[in-house]
Every structure is written in C-alpha cells, then in structure tokens.
Structure 1
Amino acid sequence: MPKAVAILPVVFAIYFPIAWHLESSYKPQEPGILRPPFAHFAGNAYLRYRASVGSKGDTSAEPERARLQLFEDGKPLGPAHTAPQDVSQLGAGRFAYFQVGEDRPALVFSTSDNSDPNTNGRTYRINDPSARDPYEEQRRR
C-alpha cells in the first residue's frame, strides 16, 4: 500500500499536464466539412466515399433523388446530378452523388477551377437538408 501512495503524485504530475494540453488544443470538427485526401477519379473529377451519413444518392431509377448540396469556401457548386463522365471532362464545379446497391452513396465532384482539392487550400462542405440522422433515436433516450 505505501508504494501505491508514493506513485500517486507521479501519476497526477504526468496526467494533468497531458489532459490540460489535450483539452486546450482540441478543435471539434465542423459538421459537413470534407477533409482530404480525395481520390482522383478521372480528369477533373475527385471521389469521396461515405461523404454524408443518412443521405440518399441518385440511382438509375431515381436520377435526381439526391438533395446533397456541395460548397467550396461557402460558394455553391453545381450543377448536381451530373453524369460522372461530364464531371470528369467538363469539371467547373459539377458533381454527382450516386448510390450503387445498398452501399452508402459516393460523391464525384470537381472544383470550380478544376484544380486539385487536395492541394488548392479550399474548404469543401456538404449539406443535405433531407438527410436522416442515424443517431436521432439514440439521442432521444
């Protein structure tokens, strides 16, 4: 027992500075911010799997089902529902949010000036007003 009591001040001396540093340096992630890396899809297009939780993507049966909005430094990009090959070839902010089977939808997008979103220093944000919050039921408990 005396050894445990002697070790306690050492544990506190190590724990509290680390805890203070972690709390003071913690920055919560803003919802909807897409963080690099983005996979290069083709041409001007980049790919992000699982961009949004609870969102529905376009399908071949419902080609304009997705309500996802994409922003570059606060400015809206688009048009949405663009064929991936047009996103790749034409770029200029076009994007598609599509779903294949039961997988979570994927976002194929281009930047406003067809630059690489991994290195251009811009912030990309998504918003889907129709997204279902998968944790809503748990929060109600």
Structure 2
Amino acid sequence: MSKPIYVLSGPNLNLLGVREPEIYGHQTLDDVKRLCEARAAALGRSVVFRQSNHEGELIDWIQEARTEASAVVINPAGYGHTSVAILDALKAVGVPVIECHLSNPASREAFRRKTYVSLAATGLVSGFGAASYELAVEAAAGLTRPA
C-alpha cells in the first residue's frame, strides 16, 4: 500500500463551524476530515489527518512526513504568516507540499496575502471552503504515485 498523504491543519481550525462561519463556513473539522478521507479513498489513497494549535507539534509531523508520507497538504492558518520554522521544515520534507486555505487570503487583509509556506509549496488551493482540502488531496495524489 502507498504511503498516506498527510493533511495537517494549524491553529484555531479545531473551531471550524463556530469561528467566523461567514469566512470559514459551517462545516466542522470532522466534516473536513471525512471529505478528505472520501476523496483519498476514491483515488486509491489514504490520509493521516491531524490538527494542532502548537507550532512545534506541526513541525514534528512535517518532519515525520519525510519518511512516512507521500505528500503533505497543509493549512498553516495563522502560522503561515509568521513561521519561518514551519517553512524550514517544509523545505526539508522532500515530498510534494500543497498549501491549502478555506478562504482566499489574497482577498483579505494585507497581512494575510503572503505566507512563508508558499515559498516551499508545490501548489496552492484556496478560497473553496472545505472543498479546498479535497482539491488539495486530489492535487497531492496526482503529484505522487502509489507505491
């Protein structure tokens, strides 16, 4: 069986469905997980789906992905705009990285328009709500071959 696609979500995404639903939608993180699992399964793949509010934990998972994942889908949330450490981890991961956002950061506040993650990402999917994650999983699967 092929290595899974790691789907990592950063801070405050555990509050999906509650926090600013006019921006992030009404679906919960569990809903997003189910969508990712279903899309991956339809492509003959699997996902490891994780969320953390802690930068170091996200970095640990990115480093783990070096040997355990075929690709990484990451919604860094607020860390995308601030974390050089996450950028450095992603640059060392050695597998395709898809940056993912529920909203379209380019249409929001100026500080959200640049992310460090983009400097290491193979591609970016944003602005489609929970479907951004599904599309990112599909892109990641397309960039990697099942083993």
The verdict on a shared fold, with TM-score over 0.5 as the criterion, is no
Q: TM-score w.r.t. structure 2 length?
A: 0.24
Greater per-residue strand proportion? 1
Provide TM-score, normalisation by structure 1: 0.25
